[in-house]
Amino acid sequence: MAELTPSQQIDMYIKGLTDWRGKLLARLRKLVLASASELTEEWKWDTPVWSFRGNVVSGGVFKDHVKLNFFKGASLKDPKKLFNAGLEAKASRGIDFHEDSKIDESALKDLVREAVALNSAKKK
């Protein structure tokens, strides 16, 4: 059997989440991918990761929330205060979404674009 692509693995992962978390992760995935066309989907650490010149953001599923973790979130401006998790971490920042969470789609897309730009500006 052929090995699955990262996108196919993410599709299967989402399909296996039969409750609200699967729908939410699918929606967040769509938003992340719509934010920056240069992002590549990867499957690392048994979780979806979107990268461009390094890891940008990952999606994690927990019992009561779905998390987007920005690998260099501490270096990003967050004017809409989306980050609500991992605020004490040195580099990363997270956004925990619960079943009833409202998603500020334009602010989230801005954050993803800023994270991609940060990786793009990295010194070689």
24-75 pLDDT, tens digit per residue, is 999 999 999 999 999 999 999 999 999 999 999 999 999 999 999 999 999 9
What share of the chain has pLDDT > 90, as a percent?
Answer: 95
Q: Is the pLDDT of residue 123 over 90?
A: no
Query: What is the number of alpha carbons within 13 Å of residue 77 lying toward its C-beta?
Result: 6
Tell whether 63 is covered by a domain.
Answer: yes
CATH of the domain at 40: 3.90.1150.200
Tell whether 18 is covered by a domain.
Answer: yes
State how beta strands 47-51 and 93-97 pair. unpaired
pLDDT of 103 reads 97
- Kindly compute the dihedral angle of the four CA atoms of residues 66, 70, 73, 78, in this order, to the nearest 10 degrees: -60
Full-model pTM: 0.94
Tell whether 1 is covered by a domain.
Answer: no
pLDDT of 97 reads 98
Q: Which domain holds residue 65?
A: 6-120
The dihedral sign for the CA sequence 4, 69, 33, 113: negative
Average pLDDT, the chain: 96
Tell whether 48 is covered by a domain.
Answer: yes
Partnered with residue 61 across adjacent β-strands are 66
Distance CA 98, CA 43 (A): 23
Q: How many domains is the chain partitioned into structurally? A: 1
